């Protein structure tokens, strides 16, 4: 057994020493078998939440009613959850009642996918009551038990299944896929916020193209915000979103490849309930994909939008990132004499004083002319130089 499991072993030892069962469970066990980097370590036990709190010095109550307590060990958080069974679900997402139990097997049988329903004991031995190891070997995404029942309990499990397919490159088991096609309408009961979390993880998966094909073949996409209107096209499927960084880049690429104009993009992203910040940045990034850059466009876009949209342009056409081209673009941006309108050596008030004219739309027009000349290095960004340039412009107009 290796890190990070060994670091969490004292928690299992403490529970064992007091007569309780304790196991590592869930995604960390799956990732050991897959040889992937281990993320968060989760622990399951037959000790009640109150007992867990009494056994450890540093704990945080994050959901005792559902059996979960966080144990802090050397600054690292571990979720410790009591074995439980669940009554029938309400609103297709949560059980009406949770009962604490003493059986690891029964606890594992309530979970969503076989690959997520295995445990590891204190010696590093895998406990698999659901065929998770076999499904990893044959590269299957399969529910624990009857898929129709699992999806009736929590319809988001359909999206989770496709998300794991995107991350791992596996296939849906035939029964799971058939149930998904039949029960896709249940996704209408799931909040947009929960769908969004899974969609963003799906898009960032290494095998996103395969996942989007599954969204189409199962018609799940029809239950996702905006996609029942716009559909999923071929260029959108083939794009390597996993090479992008922030969510604003992912959504920026997505709306560009959907072929949405600015108004449609804003409406679409509002349906997905993105934050105002991510929405604005995504729309701006999408706008500048395939742009023919010059000083004015770089100024308008800003450094982040410039580099993000250029990256998406590269991936769209070449399916790879050219870092030397990004570095050259950054150098060009850094060389701009001004980065925002406030950097100009004159303001609207300065122009009013210089012209001895009242405020009006002429100010914005004249500032735009000054900005353009400064950006193109035709004019030095000094107040005196700008005033001299404006006088020269006036004289040329008079001579014309």
Partners of 59 in beta bridges: 71
Report the binding-site residues for ATP. Answer: 27, 30, 111, 154, 157, 160, 163
Task: Tell me which residue of 131, 183, 125, 129 sits closest to 157, measured CA to CA.
Answer: 183
Task: Tell me which residue of 123, 189, 118 sits closest to 152, measured CA to CA.
Answer: 189
Report the binding-site residues for CTP. Answer: 27, 30, 111, 154, 157, 160, 163
Phi-psi region of 375 (alpha: psi -120 to 50; beta: other; left: phi over 0): alpha
For residues 126 and 30, what is the distance between their CA atoms, to the nearest angstrom? 10
For residues 235 and 221, what is the distance between their CA atoms, to the nearest angstrom? 16
For residues 86 and 162, what is the distance between their CA atoms, to the nearest angstrom? 24
Q: Contact, 166 vs 127, CB < 8 A?
A: no
Burial class (CB in 10 A: 0-12, 13-18, 19+), 292: exposed
Report the binding-site residues for Mg(2+). Answer: 40, 42
Rg of the Cα trace of the chain?
28
Report the binding-site residues. Answer: 27, 30, 40, 42, 111, 154, 157, 160, 163
Q: Contact, 381 vs 343, CB < 8 A?
A: yes
Residues 6+ apart with CB under 8 A from 236: 212, 254, 257, 258
Q: Contact, 316 vs 298, CB < 8 A?
A: no
Residues 6+ apart with CB under 8 A from 276: none
For residues 206 and 220, what is the distance between their CA atoms, to the nearest angstrom? 20
For residues 130 and 124, what is the distance between their CA atoms, to the nearest angstrom? 18
For residues 79 and 68, what is the distance between their CA atoms, to the nearest angstrom? 6
Helices 348-355 and 383-399, interaxial angle, to 10°?
50
Fill in the DSSP letter of residue 100.
E
């Amino acid at each position: 057994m290796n890190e990070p499991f060994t670091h969490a072993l004292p928690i299992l030892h403490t529970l064992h020493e007091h007569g309780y069962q304790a196991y590592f469970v869930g995604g960390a066990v799956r990732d050991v078998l897959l040889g992937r980097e281990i993320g968060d370590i989760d622990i399951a036990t037959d000790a009640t939440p109150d007992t867990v709190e009494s056994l450890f010095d540093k704990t945080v109550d994050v959901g005792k009613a559902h059996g979960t307590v966080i144990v802090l060990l050397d600054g690292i958080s571990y979720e410790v959850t009591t074995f439980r069974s669940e009554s029938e679900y309400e609103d297709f997402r949560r059980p009406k009642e949770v009962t604490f139990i003493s059986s690891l097997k029964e606890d594992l049988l309530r979970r969503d996918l076989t690959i997520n329903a295995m445990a590891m004991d204190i010696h590093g031995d895998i406990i698999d009551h659901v065929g998770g190891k076999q499904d990893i070997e044959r590269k299957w995404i399969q529910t624990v038990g009857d898929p129709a029942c699992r999806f009736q309990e929590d319809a988001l499990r359909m999206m989770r299944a496709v998300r794991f397919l995107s991350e791992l490159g596996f296939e849906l088991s035939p029964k799971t896929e058939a149930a998904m096609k039949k029960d896709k309408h249940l996704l209408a009961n799931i909040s947009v916020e929960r769908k969004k979390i899974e969609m963003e993880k799906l898009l960032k998966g290494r095998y996103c193209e395969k996942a989007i094909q599954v969204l189409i073949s199962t018609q799940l996409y029809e239950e996702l915000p905006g996609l029942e209107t716009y559909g999923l096209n071929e260029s959108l499927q083939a794009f390597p979103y996993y090479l992008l960084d922030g969510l604003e880049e992912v959504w920026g690429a997505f709306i560009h490849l959907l072929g949405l104009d600015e108004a449609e993009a804003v409406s679409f992203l509002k349906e997905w309930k993105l934050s105002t910040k991510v929405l604005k940045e995504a729309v701006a990034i999408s706008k500048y994909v395939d742009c023919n850059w010059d000083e004015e466009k770089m100024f308008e876009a800003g450094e982040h939008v410039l580099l993000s949209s250029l990256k998406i342009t590269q991936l769209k056409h070449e399916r790879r990132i050219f870092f030397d081209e990004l570095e050259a673009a950054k150098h060009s941006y850094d060389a701009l004499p001004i980065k925002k309108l406030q950097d100009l050596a004159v303001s609207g008030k300065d122009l009013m004083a210089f012209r001895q004219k009242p405020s009006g739309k002429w100010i914005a027009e004249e500032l735009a002319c000054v900005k353009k000349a400064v950006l193109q290095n035709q004019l030095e960004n000094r107040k005196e130089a700008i005033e001299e340039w404006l006088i020269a412009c006036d004289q040329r107009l008079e001579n014309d």
